[in-house]
Amino acid sequence: MSVRMRANRSHTGNRRSHHKLEETRLSKCECGAQYKRHRACADCGKYRGRQVIDVVARTERAQRRAKRKQEEARELGQEQAKAQTKEEAGTKEETK
């Protein structure tokens, strides 16, 4: 078997010259916003001139989810506070 030749710096550089990052290609929507190609506009919900996403319903849904998460976090915090007070009461009784 023959010995493999070592790749020199110039060959390595030539190979890596194609590894550069490219900018995302943006298009302009009818509403004036920029969006990625082949995707619906996040602002108005249109794709190729047709309405494909109901943006109003989507924002309402996101608001409901955020509100529900806040309520759950508040309830969880109240439960933890109750548990801490019970633990503190238990430790006070043990020290007496």
Domain ranges within the chain, ordered by starting residue: 23-53
Per-position DSSP letters for the chain, written without gaps between them: -PPPPPP-HHHHHHHHTT----PPPEEE-TTS-EEETTS--TTT-EETTEE-S-HHHHHHHHHHHHHHHHHHHHHHHHHHHHHHHHHHHHHHHHH-
* pLDDT value of residue 82: 77
* pLDDT value of residue 28: 93
86: pLDDT strictly greater than 90: no
Range of lowest pLDDT (23-27, 49-53, 79-83): 79-83
* pLDDT value of residue 4: 85
1: pLDDT strictly greater than 90: no
